[in-house]
Structure 1
């Protein structure tokens, strides 16, 4: 019987139920095996080896992304105890005052939250806080949309628990929060400090963040001086700390919280998370099954379910699905629109023109502009600074900026009343910036779910917002995929055609051909990796991306110069007939002359059909045709990539 089947929940007409975890009784028996396997993992690269296969972690996981399967089932035969809670009961409006009156919220915590000008609990907070604080003998899995206040949905119960147990193990870590990125971990720490600031009586429950990109020794000195009750960490740094200081600080953990569990798995932290859970259980002073787990995730696919089944300790597990299965995943308070252009270069002009218009019409215009790759983010940020001429602050944000600088950028954008944050998908999840009224996107996201996470940076905390995505005609299959797999329909559509003045003005701002070259080649690598994910047409889309180079220079005949065959190989075009059409090949990048794409394929099959390929009285071409492969233009491509032992599709980081 599959462990993941226990968690199939969404098709049931319930928003909450409780189950006895008798089907998970074998988990402890396999923990040592899992821990042994994790010792051989490639944590630094986000991958792990399992028997005879290797699972790519990190960005390369996107290439093997399965079809979204967020619809879940539940079968009564898997549970010894199943308690139904009608939707109406769980949908009742719950207030902070009501929680205090029922004895579920301490007055010191109530005072702190009330002083933060909470107009009321969000829908997610109403559906999660009460079930979490009512019983500490249940694990919890909560599914919630982005931008719905889920951080306070677990911080309020954490503080309530610390208040209830304030006399036990006062100077030890009691709650461990694991976040997928440094930025999200630091943001959660900021929210904890807000609770401290609004009632100093709560400052005794100290908090320390343990994240990569910071000095390890300094973090340990802070752990020693603060003696925190709450630790917020990224998996890699937490693993390193546990290796050396587990017994000193983590023997009395009561809670572990996984925020954005689906994102943690996408990055490739599955085995690290299991190892962290095993370590905390093994050293726990009370019992190996003492620690309570709260898991928050925007999606509950099979991978999240399997992780949950391995790290949960309690006999009962409460499932809280705050998303109606019939409503789209995108936030309903976000007005979504798209701007369609004939050429990809025109999409860039359209975005710049839109920002200029908004800057004039809205003095406090504050927006986030998402782009596909780091190098394109650098290029576009430089262009926008010159185009806007300091009238609107432009901040560049991506994963290749060092942690201290990224923290300063986040704080600056939070403080600014107006501004534009140009970023990759590293800013798509977990980042909470006040008063962002619009999210812009040039091109498609690195994965389908990130469209939803991107637009979730606006309309935070019940406010309204808008999003606008700029696409060329060859990118339109993305819109169909978004509707089919995520039930997100972009109804407002506009068309854009640039003026000659716009084209000329933009080209004058392109002062660094090398920066432009790097930007467009990174886009080519990115879109080549996304062909299968979104159903793009390779022969039409990739040349269109490459043509952006000449169009942005106002010289359509110019092509990206490629001086080395190694560069072609890195881009994945060393054997592609598209190379001569897309690039200006120079030096050893010039290979022997190639025929056109169709001629090459036809000649290939003609050679295979020659008499020298006879086999058992039957020509090879006949046999080839019988197997239905003759018209498959991708024949041999997968074999070639396996033979090379690499994946040439990711030549540039997208975050």
Structure 2
């Protein structure tokens, strides 16, 4: 985050660290336009006993933590005895590849004035493992920023693990998010494959909250007597409370896209020049669908982006950079950016459908109102989904103040025309993903299998599908929906490149109706546009790429 002006009274300039931080690092900060420390940076740089001390730092996302942990660790590396070539000194673990890239970019900027330069490498899935591993092994990677799953994959190779034999510092960034995301086993495996804590490496944990899982892992990363620093005032109004939050309740799922369009038009008219919006969907395929539709609807109004897990890493990186630089635009996104990512000047966050819990809702809202800016948030829920508001009464959510029902009716033909331009395969994948997501919530939604399928088919018809898209009978079985009336069940043949296709999905799966459910819709012969499952996930075995 920018620190060209003091954020708080008493903020110290980086120049006050002259003699404590290497001059070349201070020059790097100056080149980035950073003059004053944020509170978390100031605490770490002035209150840590030494730059090699173990510490637990509690601070909100978007407060400058990255610079806060880079400066002391880089300074320690520059002032200590040299490491053998090819040995990693600083290892930073991040929950998402987008955040890993953001950290690596900051590292490259901070070290830009060093001669010779320090190599910062990243480790995450979605790129060529063989190519990137060769760069890593041939290079001199002093800093590695990694996601747990991919790094664990690399450390399982003893030859690669040897490159971490002289590690000086291990940093867990967004530690609570990593552990909530189910990385605990991967982190434990990583710690077993690194030199033991008794070898003397420094541990640093940065986290916004302190769930029990973090407490359990701390002794493996931090030695007894570690320093605890916090910039969170227990009496401070939470950032989310400063965001104006509304709910828009719609009758049923069939009304989703007309109401979302009406909402976006209303918000666009309020502030067309500062219209920078993130729209969260429930699944990656749902995000791909919304992106396809609204790229047509907003073709002459605003730039439309998407970020979701089924896109290739190159596309995700390019899109992240483009949206950060954009003055305005609409980003349709899954939770790959739900936390940790910092997009400047986001004026509005919209959530379409159920968040998995109240905490996910809060983290999504946190993409706006950053760095002291104001922000707004709207969640769109069906009548059935509105139980979420009652279950999370502590959230300051009020009804959306504008009447949109008439607008939604008036734009229905535009939405229908836009859907006619969407690839049937995109619709089919979104339909299947909708079923899979909501199957988990049937109890809360007071649905049985039959009524769930009825709603899914309403969703399909609202997308302009002439009949429910076909789903492979094996997938129907895995969903626990075998024999449910209304499903269009058949056999989906995959093309040779369907599984590995990039972007929104590689080759469209071929579908043959061999065993249509006797209670369901009649599929009719071979046709395109079916359930497809995981086609186009773009899952390379990729890994470490030199920055």
Aligned length: 485
Shift of 1:387: 1.0
Q: 2: distance between equivalents of 1:229 and 1:459?
A: 35
Mapped to 2, the partners of 1:164 and 1:278 lie a distance apart of: 28
1:352 equivalent among 232, 257, 261: 261
Instruction: Say whether 1:471 aligns with 2:386.
Output: no
Q: How does 1:35-184 map to 2 (within 5 A)?
A: 93-97=10-14, 99-100=16-17, 104-118=20-34, 120-132=36-48, 134-136=49-51, 138-165=53-80, 167-169=81-83, 171=85, 172-184=87-99
- 2:170 and 2:203 in contact (8 A); partners too: yes
Cα distance between partner residues in 2 of 1:318 and 1:544: 56
Runs of 4+ in 1 over 6 A off after TM superposition: none
Structure 1 residues 290 and 353, CA gap change in structure 2 (3 angstroms): same
Partner of 1:450: 360
Q: How far apart, in 1, do the equivalents of 2:14 and 2:111 lie?
A: 20
Question: TM-score when scaled to structure 1?
Answer: 0.66
| Partner SS, residue 142 of structure 1 | strand
Q: Cα deviation per residue 1:414-464 (whole Å; 9 max; x = unaligned)?
A: 233322221111121222223322222111224432222212222333333
Contact 2:94-2:146 at 8 Å conserved across structures = yes
> Mean Cα displacement is larger for which, 372-381 or 266-275?
266-275
C-alpha distance 252-560 of structure 1, shift in aligned 2 (>3 A): same
Q: Does 1:210 align with 2:119?
A: no
Q: Which moved more, 1:155-164 or 1:564-573?
A: 564-573
Equivalent position to 1:505, from 414, 420, 427 = 414
Distance 1:351 1:106, change over 3 A: same
C-alpha separation in 1, matches of 2:92 and 2:382? 41
Decide whether aligned partners of structure 1 residues 297 and 559 sit closer, same or farther in structure 2, where only a CA change above 3 A counts.
farther
Distance 2:115 2:378 in 1: 42
CA contact 1:563–1:589 (8 Å) conserved in 2: no
Deviation readout 1:304-352 (Å, 9 max, x if unpaired):
211222333x231223343344557554443322222223333432222
Task: Kindly report which structure 2 residues correspond to 1:281-360, keeping only aligned pairs within 5 A, or say none.
Answer: 281-282=195-196, 288-312=198-222, 314-325=223-234, 330-360=239-269
Tell me which moved more, 320-329 or 457-466.
320-329
Structure 1 residues 463, 126: closer, same or farther in 2, change over 3 A?
A: farther
Indicate if the aligned counterparts of 2:257 and 2:415 stay in contact, CA closer than 8 A: no
Which structure exhibits the higher relative contact order, with contacts defined as CA atoms closer than 8 Å and separated by 6 or more residues?
2
Higher helix share: 1
TM-score normalised by L of structure 2: 0.78
- SS of 1:462 mapped into structure 2: coil
User: 1:488 aligns to what?
Assistant: 395
- Structure 2: how far apart are the matches of 1:554 and 1:239? 44
8 Å CA contact 1:138–1:316 kept in 2: the answer is no
CA deviations 1:526-548 (Å, max 9, x no partner) are 1221356xx44335984684364
User: Which residue of 1 is the match for residue 190 of structure 2?
Assistant: 276
CA contact (8 A) 2:243 2:369 kept: yes
Question: Matches of 1:204 and 1:492 in 2, distance apart?
Answer: 54
Instruction: Summarize the Cα distance change of 1:130–1:590 in structure 2 as closer, same or farther, 3 Å threshold.
Output: farther
Aligned 8 A contact 1:340 1:347 in 2: no
SS in 2 for 1:457: coil
| TM-aligned CA deviation for residue 204 of structure 1 | 2.6
Q: Assess, with a 3 A threshold, how the Cα gap between structure 1 residues 563 and 330 changes in structure 2: closer, same or farther.
A: same
Unaligned runs of 5+ in 1: 1-90, 593-650
Distance 1:526 1:505 in 2: 27
CA contact (8 A) 2:349 2:364 kept: yes
In the other structure, the counterpart of 1:632 is none
Deviations 1:114-148 (A, max 9, x none): 4433364333334444334x325642222332222
Q: Which secondary structure state, in structure 2, belongs to the residue aligned with residue 316 of structure 1?
A: coil
Q: Which residue of 2 aligns with 1:433?
A: 343
| Structure 2 partner of 1:646 | none
Partners of 1:406 and 1:170 lie apart in 2 by 34
CA RMSD of aligned residues (A): 3.4
5+ long unaligned stretches in structure 2:
1-7, 491-514, 521-532, 538-547
2:107 to 192, 206, 210: 192
Partners in 1 of 2:136 and 2:469 — Cα distance? Answer: 53
